[in-house]
Each structure stands twice: as C-alpha cells, then as structure tokens.
Structure 1
C-alpha cells in the first residue's frame, strides 16, 4: 500500500482534503486571506465559489460575528508568536448564507515562515461546534432558571410565613394552612415543569391551581371566558403566572392584607388574552425589578414558547400585565 501513497501522494492528499468534513485551510497572515481551502466551507456555511470570490479580501471580517471579530486581534497576535510545534485554538461564529450563525473551533499551527523567521502562514482545521455550543447555552439557561426558581421559592415561603402570622391568631390553624400552601407550591412546581398534569385544562382552573398557595379566595378574582388549553400551553403559562404571583407577594398586591388581583380572560376567534391587574393600596406606581434579573428573561422565554406577546405597565393601583397568544 505504501507505494500508492509515494506515487500519488499529492492526489491522495487533495482527495482526502476535499472529502474531509472539517474545513481545512492555509491562511496567509501577511495577505490576511486563505491561500488554500477545501470544499467543506461551502457545505458548512452554504456559500458557492462565486459567493466567496465576490466577498473579496474583507471576507473574514464580513462573515465573522462582530463580538468574535473584536476578540480576533488577540488570537492573531498568538499566531504571530507561534513556535513551530505550537498550536493555537479559537472559537468563533461565522454567518451562514441563510443568515444564521455557525460556531467553529479552529486549531492552527505554523505552515511557513518568511525570510526573517516570522510566521508567514498557518495551516488550520475548523470544526462545526454549533450543536455543542447550543447545548452549553441551554444548560446555562437551565441552571439560571433553576437558581432563580429556588430563590423565588424561598422568598415565597418566607412571605407566606410572614403573612400567615399576620392573618392568623391561632398557631395550630396557621401551621395547617401554611403546610397546605407549601404543598400546593410543590404541586404547581411539578405542573410548571411538565412533570405532572393539571386537574383541569380549562384556563380558569389552571389559574386557580397555580395561585392556590397565594390564598386565592381572599385576594384573587378570576373572570371572563374559560377555554380549554392544549398541553403545549400549560408549562409556559404556569411559569408566567407563577412569576407574576411571586413578584406580587414580594413587591405587589399579595404582600398586603388589603391587596387584590383581578385576572380577566378574553377570547376572540383563535386568540386568547389574560389580563392581570393588581390593586395594591401601597403601590408606588413604579416597576420593581427582580433581584437576579432572570424573572423577565423567564417571562420572555415562556411568552416566545407560546408564540405570544406580553406587556406590562404600572398605574396608580399597581401592576397591569397582559398576555396574548393563539389557541
């Protein structure tokens, strides 16, 4: 077999390079362009040979994500200082022809030096790491969500204890009601995470189930239409309602004995609106941001999952929020 490689090595190398799923290239540091690249770039980024040629000498800056281009000078300095046996690695995003972003990891080493011994060009291999990066981002968001929800849970339990002590004179009765509310919180957590089914798919029943731990009979009124929801609506809607209720008990109407919340459900053809209006006797008329900033992210993500819109403003009574989505 060895004689085949000796006689046709260039042909063997060329064919191997062209069928490799990795982008292989030789980049000239003086010219700031690829002097050779295999065909994998076309399949990975979706451009044709003519597309690449038309981009000219600024192709690298044009295709690289601006945030990564800002980091590139530091990587470029590493390339200039490479020893012959050293490698440099760089993670970055390149814009695909369809407008999306492809994460790449490039590993490069010296290919040629100039007459003074400086690095003239590097040979590199770039792999698509988009899936791995997106997985890391999902895990990061999940960890942030978990951290936020745990903090909220402690805050809500603390607030429930405080409110129970204000409203109940009998300790035994207070502890019994508090235990029931904490158990309801656990139930809502399971429903919101998709780990349990609600007792009823009608939206008003779901709203009452989510808000049961917050003493709904005394402080929350639900009115309007009562359509049944599809399973895919349940988790994001639970998350939004629970986030609003958590903020209300920490900063809004549910944190006061005389506070009230009116929730109105309206349907129009295939559209559904949920209007949350707090009546808080001590309202400041200004928004209160969540302590870790993730509450609004959670609501935004859940709203996007519903394919809907979420708005909120503050009047003299307190928060007024509206959620709308198609059913």
Structure 2
C-alpha cells in the first residue's frame, strides 16, 4: 500500500518491472564487460612484468660478471704492486749498498731526481741538496763550458750508453778522477723519461798511472846520469891512477859508494832520503866510527838528486882523508855538521839552502896540493853544475875544511 501510495499514479506496476529488468540487464552487461577486460589485461600486464624482470636479471648477471672481472684485475694489480714494491725495495737496497759507487738519476732537462749515499760520500752533497739541482754541478768549469753533460746524454740516447773518464768536482771544490757511465731510463712503452749516472772514484789509479809514467822518465834520466857518473870516474881513475890495481881499487870504491846511495834511495822509493843517513853511511863505508867520525845537524830529508851528489862528494872527501888526511893515522877525527840557511830578504823570495861543513882535525900537517885530483874536481865542478851549489876547500894546517852551500830540495 505504501508503495502504491508512493508511486506516481499514472505508472503501472508492469512498466516499473520492465524498467528494473532493463537496468539489471545493463548492470549485468557492464559487469560482464569489466570481467572480460580484467581477464584479458592481467595476463598482458603480467607478461610485460616478466620481460622487465628478465631484463633486470640479465643486467644483474652482466654486472656480476663484470664485478668478478674487476675483482680479478684488482687482485692482479695488487699482486703486481706488491712485486713492484719488492723490486723497488731491492733496487733501493742495491743502490744504497753500493757505497763505492756514486749513483744518481736525472730528468730529461738534466736536473737530479735521485741521489744515493755513495754519491754523498764521494762528492759531499746530501740528497736534499742534490735533488732538484742541475747535474752539471759535478762537472769542472772547462767541461761545463763545452756542455759535456748534454753530450753525454745525447750519446746515451743514440748509443745506449755513454762512458768516459774525466775530472769531476766535489762540494768543497776539490777534484777527483772518475770513471763514469750514463744510461737512458725508459718507461714500459719505451719512452725516454730520464738518465742514470754511475761514477766510481779512480783518483788513486789515475795518480798511480801518472807516477808510473813519471818513474819511467825518472828512471831513464837516472840511468843516464848514473852511467855518465860511472863513465866519468872510471875514465878519470884510469887516467890518474899509477897502476891498473890502483885504478881498479878507486873504481870499485866509487861504485860501492854509488850503489850504497842507490840502496838508501830505493828503500825510500826514490822520494828522497834522510841526510843524516847519507852522511853516516858514507863515513861508515870508510871505517868511520862514533869516536873518530861525528856528524850532527838538522833532521831533514833531501831530494834523491842531492842525496846522490852528496854521497859521491862525501866518498871523495873520506877517501882523501884516508889517504892523506885525518883518517890516515890513528888519532885524527872528522866532523860533519849541517844547517839550513835562508837566502833573500822580505823584498825578494826567500829560498832555503843547505850549508854543510866537513872538518878534519888531528891528522898529518896539511900541505895544499900542487894539483887538483879527480876527486877534488868532481867535488867542485860536480856540485856547481849538478846542484848549482858552491864549494870552498880550505887546506888549513890543522886539517882540511870543506864548505858546501847548495839550494835545498826537500825529499
């Protein structure tokens, strides 16, 4: 009733039912369409999601493979770095242990980039002082003016190494003779990145070689002088001797005196001799002892040239003393004294001279000779020509006095 009361009066129940049935039909069709669309779209969407997931999984697999490759590369790089570090440590140890060698590196401009302890020991500059400095600081001014450092670098590049022997400078300005080797430094691709320089001090070897050359020249000169001396006193002995026996005796005595002086100088490597030893040996050779023969003077060493000349002079004086002078009897004495004197004053160069005095006492009365024998001539002329010295022979009644004054050459 109520429904009939609420419905519009003109609308019948059959019409209302038809409308409701139509509405229900539309709703059913809409629901069916919605169900149909859902059934079709969900599988399509699901398929799209599956493709995306597959792509993501493929990308993840690639990333995982790449990560594995990077891990392997990193492990290899770490191993190479460890090997390189060990190699560098061994290299540094080897370089630092080579204290007898100066080893340093430079860049392409010639500036020092590395400096080992051997370089510091040899040349004086510390690593802090040397690194960054130009390598030509070790070259002499004359070599620096001719660009020797640049020449060595060019030679190292073109020939693979540059080697030479030359003088180099130390920090204190002194020089040393070194054998040097320069080599190029290259990277893994073969590119030039710098130079390696190795030096070894050969100063002693250089000086030894120079001494050897000097000794050969000295030996040649010495042999010629010795032969000339032997020839002179042999000729004079034969000319002035009364018999061959006397000549043989004189020649033998002079040869012994000369040989004795040679022995003294040979023991000193011909670098000179002690004057007292030369005097003592000359007197002992003729039987002089501490009571009859005395000698005293400055403790000095004389050159080999002076030592030989004095040995022969003393031999002639002692021979004459035995024949005619203080040593010809049992009571005479011989005194040999010497001192160093100076020649010149403040206005000129002062030169040292050796003043030696031979004095005989207690022998037979002295009579000046009527002629000069070979011994006297050798003393007077020999010293004058050989040593540019002066000789004064004085035949005093109490005994012969001989004064020698010669330029001093220290040995």
TM range (shorter): 0.5 to 0.7
1:205 aligns with 2:280: yes
Instruction: Rate the CA distance shift 1:94–1:142 in 2: closer, same or farther, 3 A.
Output: same
1:241 to 298, 302, 306: 306
Residues 84, 109 of structure 1: 8 Å contact kept: no
> How much has 1:32 moved relative to structure 2?
3.6
C-alpha distance in 1 between matches for 2:211 and 2:250:
38
Residues 108, 124 of structure 1: 8 Å contact kept: yes
SS of corresponding position for 1:193: helix
User: Over residues 60-115 of structure 1, what are the superposed CA-to-partner deviations in whole Å (9 max), with x where a residue is unaligned?
Assistant: 25x43456x279656853642446663321223333345543332111223359xx
Residues 80, 118 of structure 1: 8 Å contact kept: no
Q: Could you tell me which residue of structure 2 aligns to residue 87 of structure 1?
A: 161
Residues 64, 94 of structure 1: 8 Å contact kept: yes
1:156 aligns with 2:229: yes
C-alpha distance in 2 between matches for 1:163 and 1:72:
60
C-alpha distance in 2 between matches for 1:209 and 1:120:
74
TM-score, with length taken from structure 2: 0.46
Q: Could you tell me which residue of structure 2 aligns to residue 20 of structure 1?
A: 98
User: Over residues 138-185 of structure 1, what are the superposed CA-to-partner deviations in whole Å (9 max), with x where a residue is unaligned?
Assistant: 434443433332222112111212322443353442233112211221
The 5-angstrom pairing of residues 211-222 of structure 1 reads: none
**Paired residues, what number?**
253
User: Over residues 161-210 of structure 1, what are the superposed CA-to-partner deviations in whole Å (9 max), with x where a residue is unaligned?
Assistant: 23224433534422331122112211221122228xx9x95774346579
Instruction: Rate the CA distance shift 1:247–1:86 in 2: closer, same or farther, 3 A.
Output: farther
Please say which structure displays the higher CA radius of gyration.
2
Q: Could you tell me which residue of structure 1 aligns to residue 209 of structure 2?
A: 136
1:227 aligns with 2:296: yes
> How much has 1:313 moved relative to structure 2?
6.0
Q: Could you tell me which residue of structure 2 aligns to residue 9 of structure 1?
A: 87
Q: Could you tell me which residue of structure 2 aligns to residue 145 of structure 1?
A: 218
1:323 aligns with 2:408: yes
RMSD: 5.0
SS of corresponding position for 2:109: coil
Residues 94, 102 of structure 1: 8 Å contact kept: yes
Residues 91, 104 of structure 1: 8 Å contact kept: yes
TM-score, with length taken from structure 1: 0.56
SS of corresponding position for 1:180: helix
Higher relative contact order (CA 8 A, sep 6+): 1
Q: Could you tell me which residue of structure 2 aligns to residue 106 of structure 1?
A: 180
Instruction: Rate the CA distance shift 1:12–1:119 in 2: closer, same or farther, 3 A.
Output: closer
Residues 115, 131 of structure 2: 8 Å contact kept: no
Residues 64, 92 of structure 1: 8 Å contact kept: no
The 5-angstrom pairing of residues 28-107 of structure 1 reads: 28=107, 31-49=109-127, 51-52=129-130, 56-57=133-134, 60-61=136-137, 63-66=138-141, 69=143, 73=147, 76-77=150-151, 79-82=153-156, 86-97=160-171, 100-107=174-181
C-alpha distance in 1 between matches for 2:173 and 2:154:
32
C-alpha distance in 2 between matches for 1:179 and 1:71:
61
C-alpha distance in 2 between matches for 1:247 and 1:201:
15
User: Over residues 242-271 of structure 1, what are the superposed CA-to-partner deviations in whole Å (9 max), with x where a residue is unaligned?
Assistant: 3545999xxxxxxxxxxxxxx861379xxx
C-alpha distance in 1 between matches for 2:172 and 2:408:
32
Residues 203, 229 of structure 1: 8 Å contact kept: no
> How much has 1:6 moved relative to structure 2?
4.3
Residues 102, 130 of structure 1: 8 Å contact kept: yes
Q: Which has the higher helix share?
A: 2
Q: Could you tell me which residue of structure 1 aligns to residue 338 of structure 2?
A: 265
Which residues of structure 1 form unaligned runs of 5+?
A: 213-224, 249-262, 291-311
C-alpha distance in 2 between matches for 1:90 and 1:176:
59
